[in-house]
Chains A and B, each alone.
Chain A
Amino acid sequence: MPANFAFPTEAEYIRFLPETILILMGTLIMVLEGFAGDGHRKGTHKVALFGLFLAMAAACYAGSNPGPAFSDFLLVDGFGTFFRMLVLTVGILAVLCSPSYLSRERADSGEYYALILYSLVGQCILATANELIMVFIGLEISSIATYVLAGYLRDDKRNNESAIKYFLLGSFATAFLLYGVAWIYGLTGSTNLAVIRQYLQTSATADPALVGLAAGLMFVGFAFKVSAAPFQAWTPDVYQGAPAPVTAFMSAGPKAAAFAVFIRVYITAFDGIAETWLPVVWVSALATMVIGNFAALTQTNIKRVLAYSSIAHAGYVLVAVAAHSQIGTAAAMFYLASYVFMNIGAFALISHLSRQGERYVQVNDLAGLSQRQPVTAALFAIFLLSLIGVPLTGGFFGKFYIFKAALDSQLYWLTVLGLLNSAVAAYYYLRIIVVMYFHEPGHATESLEEPAAGIRVASLVAALAVVVLGVAPSLLLNVASRSSAIGR
């Protein structure tokens, strides 16, 4: 027995409590599913919601006593707690808009919610991971659950396409990440972020070129998960094919968690070799913004438009990462928070608007929505305006802080190009709004029924959050600035 071994303390168990709750609740759902008869399967989403709120409370409680847990494998700090709360919120919103969709597609079953909870386990681990091993395991848990969710409606061809594309490319990307981890371990002798950081700063034996190569390999894996260029190609197909609530979930939760771990790994561990990876992030940020925004211009399918827009938004966050400063980190956190709300809100509404079998997902299918369902149209417009970055929405301040951080770090060209991109982006978002408000109602909007309660709640909450972030950004920005001090 190693002499320095100590049993995990109570505080350490509490720091792992949110994940524990999610695991237990996911398992409970599966057990309930097994015992419930055919007619009683409707209630599992309530169990999932209960579990998510419980996990949120636990995450708060765990965050009140920050520190490492389980031989430094986890590090519960403000940054981790921030992202834990964020992904759990995503989970709640996604679960809220799922039941009506699933019963419409006649696929009501508990496994769906169990998979969402398990996926969130992975994302919570990613948010607090302090070891490359945990990064890998968390990423895999989060991804594999999402692959399955993307193909959840097994008899639907687009679901199958989405799942298989996501799975094959995702596994490939994860392999790159793992290869990078192996290189890092071989070069530095550790997988602990703090130890790697210290090694890279103090030791002269580590060749920056080799470490940079390893960091580059890991960048491939992370860039895929956050759909940054040049690894963004999967995003439109996968987002389009997956069930709309799942798209809502996976365009927000896994992305936020992947950004969290991306920022943590690069700012903490690879800080000492920043000059090798910053140019890469710079180029990738620019490419991501350009590809996302310009490709979105020609799309006619709303899901694809939003998919390309989510690529572009990943680019904005990368600008914040490229700023490589504490303000940049805080800006990225703020941006991700507002992005999560506007994106998930938009997809929640799409899951309502698309109807059974997702027949109505063209931009033109929204024609005249404002006359049939003014509230729905208004909410959708809020999300789109926020995605553009119009003042008084969360998106505006998100972009504002990011470009401010970039200017502070003397990234003038990137800032200018990013702003130009935002202007381009306005075109395709406004096009949707124009169709909704100024076109005559078409065949698609005629037959639209009222949105289900869950979707109503989810979109209202999201819209409220977007507006609050736009009116009083300091509420969240203060939290983000306080918890953005990682690795220092």
Chain B
Amino acid sequence: MDPILFAIFAGIAVVCGIVMVTQRHPIASALSLIGVMGSLAVLYLLLGAEFIAAAQVIVYAGAIMVLFLFVIMLLNAGAEPKPLRSSYLAGFLGVPMVLALMGLLGYLVKRSFPLDVTVRFGDFTGGSAKAVGDALFRKYLLPFEVTSVLVLIAILGAVVLARKEMD
């Protein structure tokens, strides 16, 4: 059951990711990104990280992307026009190179990780809110607290750049 679900949602994530890039309409792209995040949440859930899954949906899909959508709607951005002259180089070289990169990565990963070391669904049980809290406030205390400075700077920067006028 688990591998099937994994395949389904991993597939959705990839398809949504591709759609996000290829769509010309910003709203469609934003929604595809939400699709990616939703399917990622399911993958987290499958791997036993239920708190992260919920946080993924609440924070990324529920809060951040709403603001994206909000801004797109406020700006009333329409579909992008099709570029008149698309880069031939990108078309002819890009796809084979991406495929080559994928193949290379796949080969390297396969070579360095023997087949008997697999991820089993259900092996990991440290995904509850308690376990995450334990990790965050004990081992990862410093990064966690320092991240608040990061967020503070982002807010401060937004205020500085968005204020009405210099005095």
A and B touch in the complex (CB under 8 A): yes
Report chain B residues within 8 Å CB of A111.
Answer: 156, 159-160
Contacts of A108 in B (CB 8 A): 167
What total of chain B residues lie within 8 Å of the partner, measured CB to CB? Answer: 26
Which of B8-16, B44-52, B62-70, B107-115 forms contacts with chain A?
B107-115
* A121 adjacent to B108 (CB under 8 Å): no
Q: Is the Cβ of B149 less than 8 Å from the Cβ of A118?
A: yes
Do the beta carbons of A213 and B108 come within 8 Å of each other? yes
Contact A30 B139 (CB under 8 A): no
In the assembled complex, the Cα of A107 lies from the Cα of B167 at a distance in Å of 6
In the complex, the answer to whether A148 meets B157 with C-beta atoms within 8 Å is: yes
Q: In this assembly, does A210 line the interface, its C-beta being within 8 Å of a C-beta of chain B? A: yes
Tell me if A155 and B166 are in contact (CB < 8 A): yes
Given A121-B149, A144-B153, is A134 in contact with B142 using a C-beta cutoff of 8 Å?
yes
Cβ B109 vs Cβ A134 within 8 A: no
Question: Do A137 and B146 touch across chains, with their CB atoms under 8 A apart?
Answer: yes
| B112:A187 contact, CB within 8 angstroms | yes
Q: In the bound complex, how far is the Cα of B112 from the Cα of A107, in angstroms?
A: 56
Give the total of A residues in contact with B, Cβ under 8 Å: 52
Could you tell me the distance in whole angstroms from the C-beta of B139 to the nearest C-beta in chain A? 5
Interchain CA distance A115-B141 in the complex, whole Å: 23
Contact with B along A194-231 (1 / 0, CB 8 A): 00000000000111011001000000000000000000
A133 at the interface (CB under 8 A from B): yes
Q: Are A71 and B139 neighbours in the complex by a CB distance under 8 Å?
A: yes
Q: A125-B146, A148-B161 are in contact. Are A118 and B166 (CB under 8 A)?
A: no
- A128-174 contacts to B (CB < 8 Å): 131, 133-134, 137-138, 140-141, 144-145, 147-148, 151-155, 163
Q: Please, which residue of chain A has its CB at the minimum distance from the CB of B137?
A: A5
Q: Give the distance to chain A from B66, nearest Cβ to Cβ, in Å.
A: 21
The answer to whether the Cβ of B143 comes within 8 Å of any Cβ in the partner chain is: yes
Query: Does A1 touch B at the CB level, under 8 Å?
Result: yes
CB-CB under 8 A from B156, the residues of chain A are 30, 111, 114-115, 118, 148
**A105 smallest CB distance to B (angstroms):** 8
Is A74 in contact with chain B by the CB < 8 A criterion? yes
Q: Say yes or no: is B5 at the interface (Cβ < 8 Å to chain A).
A: no
Q: Is the CB of A5 within 8 A of B161?
A: no
The yes or no answer to A38 lying at the interface (CB within 8 A) is yes
Is A16 in contact with chain B by the CB < 8 A criterion? Answer: yes
**Contact between A209 and B108, CB atoms less than 8 A apart:** yes
B85 within 8 A of A: no
Check A1–B146 contact: CB distance below 8 A. no
Q: Return the chain A residue nearest B152 by Cβ.
A: A118
Instruction: For B160, give its contact among A74, A106, A148, A207 (CB under 8 Å).
Output: A148
Which of chain B's residues has its CB closest to A142's CB? B153
Identity of the chain B residue whose Cβ is nearest the Cβ of A206 in the assembled complex: B112
Segment 118-167 of B: residues with Cβ below 8 Å from A: 134, 138-143, 146-147, 149-150, 152-154, 156-157, 159-161, 163, 166-167
A57-93 interface code vs B (CB 8 A; 1 in, 0 out): 0000000000001110110000000000000000000
Q: In the bound complex, what is the Cα–Cα distance between A210 and B149 (angstroms)?
A: 33
A355 to B147, CA, bound (A): 38
Contact of B112 among A8, A16, A115, A207 (CB under 8 A): A207
From known contacts A125-B146, A133-B143, infer whether A145 and B112 are also in contact, taking CB-CB under 8 Å: no
Report the separation of the CA atoms of residues A41 and B108 in the bound assembly, to the nearest whole angstrom: 59
On whether the beta carbons of B142 and A73 are closer than 8 Å, the reply is: yes
Contact (A154, B142) CB under 8 Å given A121-B149, A141-B150: no
How far is A163 from B147 in the complex, measured between Cα atoms in Å?
A: 22
Task: With A73-B143, A141-B153 as known contacts, state yes or no: A151 contacts B161, CB within 8 Å.
Answer: yes
Interface 1/0s, chain B 3-43, versus A by CB < 8 A?
00000000000000000000000000000000000000000
Interface on A for B, CB 8 Å cutoff? 1-2, 5, 8, 16, 19, 23, 27, 30, 38, 41, 69-71, 73-74, 106-109, 111, 114-115, 118-119, 121-122, 125, 131, 133-134, 137-138, 140-141, 144-145, 147-148, 151-155, 163, 187, 205-207, 209-210, 213
Q: List 18 A-B contacts (CB under 8 A).
A: A1-B138, A19-B146, A41-B167, A69-B142, A73-B140, A73-B143, A111-B160, A114-B156, A122-B149, A134-B142, A134-B146, A140-B150, A141-B153, A148-B153, A154-B166, A155-B166, A207-B108, A210-B108
Residues of chain B at the chain A interface (Cβ within 8 Å): 108-109, 111-112, 134, 138-143, 146-147, 149-150, 152-154, 156-157, 159-161, 163, 166-167
